[in-house]
Amino acid sequence: MSTATGLSSPERPATTPTFQAPSTGRKIKNNLATFLVGLAFVIALVPLVWVLATVVVRGIGAILSSDWWGRSLSGVLPESYAGGVYHAIYGTLIQAALAAVIAVPIGILAAIYLVEYGRGRLAKTTSFMVDILAGVPSIVAALFIFAAFISILGAEQSAFMVSLALVLLMLPVVIRNTEEMLRLVPDELREAAYALGIPKWKTILRIVLPTALSGTVTGVMLALARVMGETAPVLVLVGYSQSINFDPFSGNMASLPLLMFSELSNPEPSGQFRIWGAALTLILIIMILQLGASVVSRFSAISK
Amino acid sequence: MAKRLDLKAVDIFYGDFHAVSDVNLSVSPRSVTSFIGPSGCGKSTVLRTLNRMHEEIPGARVDGEVLLDGEDIYARSADAVAVRRTIGMVFQRPNPFPTMSIRDNVVAGLKLQGVRDKKKLDEVAEASLRGANLWKEVKDRLDKPGGGLSGGQQQRLCIARAIAVQPDVLLMDEPCSALDPISTLAIEDLIGDLKKEYTIVIVTHNMQQAARVSDQTAFFNLEATGKPGKLVEIDDTEKIFSNPHEQATEDYISGRFG
Ligand SMILES: Nc1ncnc2c1ncn2[C@@H]1O[C@H](COP(=O)(O)OP(=O)(O)O)[C@@H](O)[C@H]1O
Ligand SMILES: [Mg+2]
């Protein structure tokens, strides 16, 4: 076809230019499509901005009040605006941290197994289980921990039980993310290490993991941010406490979602005040984690 | 240091696929042997069996004997990790460790084998970089990442890294195929220097390169697709390129096929 036009066109008089302005129909379609895409973007953005704005506007007063970050609600009457939520912040942080201490090593080791060693049935089964675990709703994870540890093993309700449920929710995220990061490490690096007479385990520990580190850390932080707001586990597995409890292994302990839930039954305006404050606090903590994740990934990015 | 390699009746399989059949050849110490032949005839496959790198590929298997100064590297008692420490390898694409500085790349092998002595590591880094003709170019930026070098420099960095663990044999799989002509010349010069101390086996697609750098040349060929690759002949490079024994070699050298 190209030969045909190539041969005939030089002889043809140039009556019509080859390039013409786009047709009106195409212009209309183009503008319509641009408009629709823009509209979809705005529609998607509206609820996000709305939620964020509402939380900030309603919660800012609470988090700026003098006692907010340094006091608990111990001895504070429901209708009073006094007191703070440091007991709940502590609870949220310690529960997530304990979950991370358990889930991160197990998750990373499982991912290493899947990527570096896993072949055949066991790896396929593990991978399948991870997929299933990833789809488990948090209430089911919470009820499972309740059934297994509290009903059957006779453990008491405590923050640690919450952490165990959070482990179930974090594990698939950590495994999948680490797996992806490890698979991004080119095989050529592994081969280079083997060819130097470096054993496989050392190659993984000193070459593969450092190369995948920033992505792995980012993934862990995002997983943490996700489980911090989980409400089902704290509702099912630990009682609420107005005052600080440092011991995650026994007694009631507050956390930000649990505090919000318990203040819902407070009819006084101070209840609303604390709910919005706690919501904003939770969002701030999660934002700090995500910022931390992006800083980590920026600074330890593989130098090109 | 440099040692002799002998392959006796080596057959290589990937699962059920018979990739290379019945290779017999010897490589003397302090010499360069090049493997030439059309793509897919098993040059890389043979090379990788010389330091047991193929064991990283699931299903890969070797029959026959590979002797290093008479010692079978496939003996029950031989540890693949120890074998690779003795027989180093440089790959087609330069592959410096991206998280390490130039200096750490060079001494990575020693460091991961547990050498801590900073003075010794610095000495080895300098000696190896000098050995790889790279010292002058990088001595002022040893702490910069290895990935920041040009392709040819990266490949010489990889050679420095390989010789830093003081192997007896150095295997190179098309080390210049990703490089420009000037870097290629630099590496060819380097091979000429290295053969004073090492036994070198190099796979190359470039026949001029084989003619320039090697003392003996092995020609591999494939009778038909799906059939195993074979060693057609191995002889002094001069002989192979002027008056080969086999017609197939002659045809390949003169560009009539492959
Ligand atoms: N990892 C592998 N798995 C299965 N077959 C392979 C693998 N690597 C190479 N082969 C096959 O072995 C034969 C020889 O390949 P190779 O040694 O790479 O050839 P060359 O290096 O001479 O181009 C080819 O048919 C190739 O398809
Ligand atoms: Mg090859």
**Backbone torsions φ then ψ of A80, nearest 5 degrees:** -80, 150
Q: What distance in Å separates residue A108's CA from the closest CA in chain B?
A: 19
Q: Does B141 touch chain A (CB under 8 A)?
A: no
Q: Where are the domains of chain A?
A: 86-298
Max intra-chain CA distance, chain B: 56
Of the residues A194, A300, A302, the best mutation for testing chain B's interface (the one with the most B CB atoms within 10 Å of its CB) is: A194
What is the rounded average pLDDT of the residues B54-77?
92
First to last CA, chain A: 45
Contacts of B145 in chain A (CB under 8 A): 303-304
Q: Does the structure show a pLDDT above 70 at B258?
A: no
B113–A198 C-beta distance less than 8 A: yes
Residue B126 lies in a domain: no
Q: Is the dihedral of CA B100, B106, B111, B117 positive or negative?
A: negative
**Total domains in the fold of chain B:** 1
Measured from the CB, is residue B218 less than 6 Å from ligand 1?
no
Judging contacts by C-beta atoms under 8 Å, the chain A residues touching residue B82 are 197
CATH number at residue B72: 3.40.50.300
Could you tell me if residue B113 is inside a domain? no
* Disruptive mutation site among B92, B97, B157 for chain A (greatest number of A CBs within 10 Å): B97
Across the range B59-84, mean pLDDT stands at 92
The confidence score (pLDDT) of residue B111 equals 93
Mutant choice from A189, A198, A200, A201 vs B, greatest count of B C-beta within 10 A: A198
Q: Which fold has domain A86-298?
A: MetI-like fold (1.10.3720)
Look up residue A250 and give its amino acid. Answer: S
Of B14, B53, B5, the residue nearest B229 (C-alpha): B14
pLDDT at position B92, please? 92
Instruction: Residue B245: give the domain boundaries.
Output: 5-96+172-253
Q: Decide if B218 is inside a domain.
A: yes
Minimum CA–CA partner of B109 in chain A: A196
| B50 has pLDDT over 80 | yes
Task: Give pLDDT, residue A301.
Answer: 54
Q: Using an 8 Å Cβ cutoff, are B3 and B189 in contact?
A: no
**Pick the residue with more confidence: A6 or B4?**
B4
Look at residue B46 and tell me if it is in a domain: yes
> Which residue blocks in A135-208 are alpha helix, DSSP H?
138-145, 159-184, 187-195, 200-203
B21, part of any domain? yes
Cβ B39 under 6 angstroms from ligand 1: yes
Mean pLDDT by 10-residue block, N- to C-terminus, for chain A (304 residues)? 48 72 89 95 94 95 91 89 93 96 96 90 91 94 95 92 96 95 94 94 94 90 90 94 92 95 93 95 93 81 47
Q: CA–CA separation, B156 vs B96, rounded Å?
A: 10
Kindly state whether residue B115 falls inside one of the protein's structural domains: no
Q: What is the mean pLDDT of chain B?
A: 92
- B148: chain A residues, CB-CB within 8 Å: 303-304
Instruction: From chain A, pick out residues whose CB is under 8 angstroms from the CB of B58.
Output: 119
Q: What is the mean pLDDT of residues B145-163?
A: 93
pTM here is: 0.83
**CA–CA separation, B96 vs B152, rounded Å?**
12
Contact B165 A302 (CB under 8 A): no
**Structure tokens belonging to residue B42:** 């098993």
B residues 110..139 contacting A (CB < 8 A): 112-113
Q: From the CA of B47, how far away is ligand 2's center (Å)?
A: 9
B156 contacts: CB under 8 Å, gap ≥ 6: B132, B133, B134, B186, B187, B190
Interface A-B, measured as beta-carbon pairs within 8 A, has a size of: 78
**Single-letter amino acid, residue A109:** L
